[in-house]
Amino acid sequence: MSRAQTYTSESVTEGHPDKVADQISDALLDEILRIDPAARCACETLVTTGLVVVAGELGTTARIDVPDVVRAVLRDIGYDSARQGFDGNSCGIIVTLDRQSPDIARGLDSSWESRTARGDIVPLDRQGAGDQGMMVGYACDETPELMPLPISLAHRLARRLSEVRRTGVLPYLRPDGKTQVTVDYENGRPARVSTIVVSAQHTPDVDVERVLAPEIRAQVIEPCLTGERAEDRPVVLVNPTGRFESGGPVADVGLTGRKVIVDTYGSMARHGGGAFSGKDPSKVDRSAAYAARWAAKNVIAAGLAERCEVHLSYAIGVARPVGVHVETFGTDRVDPVRLAKVVPDFFDLRPAAIVRDLRLNRPVFRATAAYGHFGREEPGFTWEERSRAAELAAALA
């Protein structure tokens, strides 16, 4: 008997206030790592009308001009004049950054393993996890990038919405915007895209019904519905409130880390709760979530399952994860018990090993702060590499 379900995911453009905050936090992290690759950073940003607040903790020798970085990010997004509702050239900026807690630093610099070992300690065991918590990585074979179709298409629409604004194709658009995609599934597989919602910030003079809505359909939605999705004919809602003139930090306070589902798998997978932006890779909230995606993606790329979710858990100050779980939801093509045992052998999940293998002590994080951290096969997104798929497949043959 056919089993029908629907899944919905959303994305937002880089001008959404929460994403503005994420980009500022990650741009500051990148500038710090550019000078000091071993830096510790937990940087949080708040944006509101005419004001940016940067707060957090640092453990670094780097000295950067925080207001210069903030203003550069705002101008790049498009908030560069009062006409845009927020002017990065003149907004107020408050900076309150303190030193990292010595109690946290102790767990990173001298792990539980190194304090309890009787003999020589393996170097990669010396660095403990920067916090306790649970991290989840997910992959599936629904799209070429091995991501769920709803979030993949929502990101594609959001990026296209930004592109037509930046290139002047739709010159009346402003930086803020949101997309949402609902997909009908049958027997666990995507059957059709049923609904698309696009909310685009715009200038006061544009006619939404006669100009903006049809042009969003033609320039944003239709180019994104390609291949087998071209015939889906979804219900389309463009600016369903009627108008969207006030947007960005003027309309809504933005905070770092408030779009964790947009950043990951769009509600298709579980989430451990930790945000990413502004955190250096010693924080397993970020680095272990990347490693879990890396492992899950290689399982799917190896053809070992249709869906894979990798769960990791850590204790603060302890190098080795206290829990590793591999879930394939009954879609496995090999013995799931063997698969669960092999995955930890192929992916070293200690924090120092993750940083080494994924080369995370580099300034690559600003690019992750909008349009998702996963499914991006671009330079710097090392956790998207499929380099271990062939070895995994051979080991389980």
**pLDDT string in tens for the chain (397-residue length):** 357 899 999 999 999 999 999 999 999 999 999 999 999 999 999 999 999 999 999 999 899 999 999 999 999 999 999 888 899 999 999 999 998 777 666 666 667 777 676 556 666 777 888 888 999 999 999 999 999 999 999 999 999 999 999 999 999 999 999 999 999 999 999 999 999 999 999 999 999 999 999 999 999 999 999 888 889 999 999 999 999 999 999 999 999 999 999 999 998 999 999 999 999 999 999 999 999 999 999 999 999 999 999 999 999 988 889 999 999 999 999 999 999 999 999 999 999 999 999 999 999 999 999 999 999 989 999 999 999 999 999 999 8
Instruction: Check for a shared fold between 4-12+149-248 and 17-102.
Output: yes
What's the DSSP call for residue 369?
Answer: G
Residue type, 34: R
Q: What are phi and psi of 231, to 5 degrees?
A: -100, 10
Domain 133-143+256-396: state its class. alpha beta
Instruction: Assess if CATH 3.30.300.10 describes domain 17-102.
Output: yes
The tokens for 324 are 């590793």
Between vectors from CA 320 to CA 316 and to CA 321, what angle results, nearest 5°? 75
pTM for the complete prediction?
0.94
Contact (CB, 8 A) for 343 and 299: yes
Query: CA–CA distance from 5 to each of 9, 102, 155, 192, 233 (Å)?
Result: 14, 49, 21, 11, 18
Q: What architecture does CATH give domain 4-12+149-248?
A: 2-Layer Sandwich (3.30)
Binding site residue list for K(+): 44
Give the integer Cα–Cα distance in Å for 179 and 153.
9
Binding site residue list for L-methionine: 57, 100, 252, 283
| Residue 274: partners with Cβ closer than 8 Å, 6 or more residues away | 131, 133, 135, 260, 283, 284, 285, 286, 289
Residue of 360, 372, 361, 366 whose CA lies nearest to 278: 366
What are the residue ranges spanned by the domains of the chain? 4-12+149-248, 17-102, 133-143+256-396
Binding site residue list: 16, 18, 44, 57, 100, 176-178, 243-244, 252, 258-259, 275, 279, 283
Give the integer Cα–Cα distance in Å for 148 and 268.
7
